[in-house]
Structure 1
Amino acid sequence: MNPKNVVLGVSGGIAVYKALDVVSRLKKKGFNVDVIMTKSAEEFVTPLSFQSLSGNQVITNMFDEPKAFEIQHISLAKKADLMLIVPATANIIGKVASGIADDMLSTTIMAAFGRCPVVFAPAMNTNMYKNPILQDNIKKLIKYGYKFIEPSSGRLACGDTGEGKLQDTELIAEMVESMLYDKKDLAGKKVLVTAGPTIAPIDPVRFITNRSTGKMGYAIAKEARDRGAEVTLISGPSNIKAPFGVDFIKVSTNEEMLKQVLDRYDTSDIVIKSAAVADYKPKTYSDLKIKKSEENLNIEFVKDNDILKKLGEIKKSQILVGFAAESNDLIENAKGKLARKNLDYIVANDITSSDTGFASDENKVFILSKDNSILELNKMSKTDVARELFDLINR
């Protein structure tokens, strides 16, 4: 496949140095990147830095002699699958909102509009960002169809604290990747995903849980998002950053997850239960910390809610997908679970494998369907597993 082309516009602000990281991340994701710098941006970082990372000649002057017989701002606008301005200063936003095109960056933005998405990632002093003139300019551009990646809040280079800090560079690169994803076959669908472990409290200090990290569920939620779905991700405790563009709900216990899932189940088209939900909980919870003694501690456990079974019992038109983490008789156990819980698909993985499964970025699974077919997926990233799962569902 030919790589997608991103034209990166760099305007003059202290966050220019972070644009270098955006180029690096986009290149690692397989994009071709062409960079246009304003004269102000060159005061912060040299064009050579961007050239070294992008592997392409950096354009700084619209009157430079072109390398080929072409009008550069037009040819770049035609080449771009997406145009991204990082950082987007109040100046460049105001120029475009006013229809001013007096340098290479502003003319290319004007020429690109309507041909590809044009995305601004603002970064500036918080008072500048909150200025009603700037906010009116942003609203005006959004009305025309330009897109914005909202800045984050934090300590700014000037020493102020507030909105105006350039958004996380990995998030910017992820948003570009999502916008340029080829498959949008889940557009109009609602996908509900559960991820991570749940906990069963023993006392105010102690609880039992399992080894799930949530990596598989988060990868599934991102894939569904990138394919155009409206995604809800219900997650137990996890150290993974919540993905952008999804309705993210944090829970802790089996009971909390059950409630959140049931609240959304009827309106969901596809439900993927990849969470490792606690099957048992202590029969009694101690409001006070259980003190250590010389005696052994015996805790009686009782069965907790079987969320997946409950969903299978009340299923209507939803596609319901479960997971089976097994240490023996993988296919046989997965088949039994598929039937008992009225699932459409079940993803089975062997937890005894040393290089896949919990905490790993990769997985090796079998996807069993209710029509008795089995798809074997050899070792691959969890992102690729998610892609294969949705390909199968759509087929």
Structure 2
Amino acid sequence: MNTSAPDQVKGRRPLVLCAVCGGISAYKTAEVVSRLVQRDDSRVRVIMSRNACKFVTPLTFRALTGAPVSVSLFSRSADAPDHPIFPHIDLAGEADIFLLAPATADAIARIARGHAGDLVAAAALALPADCIRVFCPAMNSAMWLSPPTQENVRRLENLGWLRLGPRAGRLACGGQGMGRMAQPDEITACIAGCLKRRASLSGSTILICSGPTREYLDPVRFISNASSGLTGKSLAMEAVVRGAAVIFITGPVCPDHLPRHPRIVHVQVTTAAEMLEAALAHTPQANAYIFTAAVADFAPAQTLPQKQPRGPGITLNLHPTEDVAAAVSARRRPGTVAVGFALQDSLEDPSAEEKLRAKHLDAIVVDTAAAMEAYSARYRFIWHEEGALRHADWGTLDKPTCARRVLDWISEQIS
């Protein structure tokens, strides 16, 4: 965790170290570097694998950055006296953000396994602990979906790497599928956001309740609310980019929808009661709370011990579950911040304001059923300010952008 003074105070601009690997998407990385160089809030340096040079030359990146581009652990020579003596240490040790783009299957595998036989992999091992690591996968869809690649991707995410992409579409091989590298504007926006938000929540702990809960009727059947867990994942990853620690309490979701980072503690639960118990146990540790879980509103009065046979019909006796957000918010420490999510029939539904008050929240994000399985949705934000309720129509946002808006607001309140 970076708790030092901002780089501007120390008299240096943060360094973005871009590592280019051997894939056709390397041409996109040149545009990313060009855009980053034009910003005045960072310095940009580039290193390349030898295979990357078969797609884009080092001269391209030298012309863009105005700095030497190393392609080997032994780049310095009589012909290149301006190259660092130890490029994997001299550059990596100074990096504030490390961008791996394109991140090929081979590069992901070597870095995930800790290999250091080439400049890119060795540099990845030499990064400072507080360096933000971003990788942008790009490869054939079959390679992307292969179990070894997926295992290596999860390994990097568990080590704290932030993944951007891949996206679906037409691939260089002519096929269609998942494997396209994220577009330059998306990558540039990600890096620009990381530069702006670095360490804004350093020292804070964010408790996030995410995913659905399940209330079992018998060992097989259950009542639940639909939730992909993607909003919770976006919030958690945004929080760690800002330097926060995260307590992530989640119901059952797809493993790919779980955030992974060394500063994220996972607490797996199933029922609403289990989520409430876990949240209350961690309440004293948190500075801020975000309630985005789709908690089941009702539970059966009795859970049957055996699977019930199919019959003409059954009558269920249900009782309401305890409101997790309301219970936790009522017990949180003074000076902390709590934000909830409310799914309403419309963004203008006035009952969202009542939920904000009843749940003892400082702000609430309103969405509709269209957001449940979608990557983008419309949002409305309601918050307390100077004794009154304020409203902002956020329009249509993807979930990572919504997460940034929420964490921007929380950062302002905590600071």
**What interval of TM-score do these two structures reach, taking the shorter chain for normalisation?**
0.5 to 0.7
Answer yes or no: is 1:174 the counterpart of 2:163. Answer: yes
* In structure 1, C-alpha distance between the alignment counterparts of 2:29 and 2:399, rounded to whole Å: 19
Q: Write the distance in 1 (CA, Å) between the matches of 2:257 and 2:276.
A: 22
Residue 361 (str. 1) matches residue 375 (str. 2) = yes
- Deviation per CA, 1:255-308, whole angstroms, max 9, x where unpaired? 221122111111100000010101101111111110012x32111111112111
2:303 corresponds to which residue?
285
Please state if 1:230 is matched with 2:213: no
> Taking structure 1 as reference, are residues 189 and 287 closer, same or farther at Cα in structure 2, changes over 3 Å only?
same
TM-score (norm 2): 0.64
Deviation, structure 1 residue 47:
2.2
The two structures have a TM-score, normalised by structure 1, of: 0.67
In structure 1, what is the equivalent of residue 229 of structure 2?
A: 214
Report the equivalent of 2:5: none
Counterparts of 1:223-302 in structure 2 under 5 Å? 223-239=238-254, 240-245=256-261, 246-293=264-311, 295-302=312-319
Does the residue aligned with 1:390 lie in a helix, a strand or coil?
A: helix
Q: Distance in 2 between matches of 1:181 and 1:378?
A: 25
RMSD: 4.6
Residues 36 and 58, structure 1, Cα contact 8 Å, conserved in 2:
no
Shift of 1:181: 3.5
For residues 240 and 112 of structure 2, the distance between their equivalents in structure 1, rounded to whole angstroms, comes to 31
1: distance between equivalents of 2:111 and 2:379? 49
Give 3-state SS (helix, strand or coil) of 1:372's partner. Answer: strand
Q: What percent identity do the matched residue pairs reach?
A: 21
Structure 2 CA distance for aligned equivalents of residues 214 and 67 of structure 1: 43
Does the CA contact (< 8 Å) of 1:25 and 1:170 recur in 2?
Answer: no
Aligned to 2:95: 116
Give 1:359's aligned amino acid: E
CA contact (8 A) 2:296 2:321 kept: yes
Letter in 2 for 1:236: G
Residue 23 (structure 1) shift: 8.1
Equivalent-residue separation in structure 1 for 2:241 and 2:129 (angstroms):
23
Contact persistence 1:22–1:169 (CA under 8 A) = no
CA contact under 8 A between 2:212 and 2:225: conserved in structure 1?
Answer: yes
| One-letter amino acid of the counterpart of residue 47, structure 1 | C
Equivalent of 1:48 in 51, 54, 72:
54
Change (3 A) 1:101 1:229: same
Cα 1:126–1:270 shift into 2, 3 Å:
closer
Q: Distance in 1 between matches of 2:303 and 2:258?
A: 30
Instruction: Say if 1:330 and 1:349, in contact at 8 Å, map to a contact too.
Output: no
**What is the distance in 1 between the residues matched to 2:353 and 2:274?**
28
Structure 2 residue aligned with 1:193, among 195, 202, 208?
Answer: 208
Structure 1: distance between partners of 2:408 and 2:196: 13
- Counterpart of 1:112 in structure 2: which amino acid? L
Alpha-carbon distance in structure 1 between the residues aligned to 2:54 and 2:283:
53
- The residue matched to 1:221 in structure 2 has which SS? helix
- Give the direction of change, closer, same or farther, for the CA distance of 1:343–1:123 in structure 2 (3 Å limit): closer
Which protein is bigger by CA-based radius of gyration? 1
1:340 aligned to 2:358?
A: yes
Deviations along 1:60-93, one digit per CA (max 9) or x if unpaired, are xxxxxx869x9953xx59xxxxxxx9xxxxx95x
1:46-125 paired onto structure 2 within 5 Å: 47-50=53-56, 57=59, 72-73=67-68, 92=73, 107-112=86-91, 115-117=94-96, 123=109
Structure 1 stretches lacking a partner, 5+ long: 11-15, 60-65, 78-84, 86-90, 131-136, 150-156
Q: Is the 8 A contact 1:281 1:301 kept in 2?
A: yes
Equivalents in 2 of 1:373, 1:297: separation in Å? 46
Residue 112 of structure 1: how far off its partner (Å): 2.4
Question: Is 1:9–1:105's contact at 8 Å kept on the other side of the alignment?
Answer: no
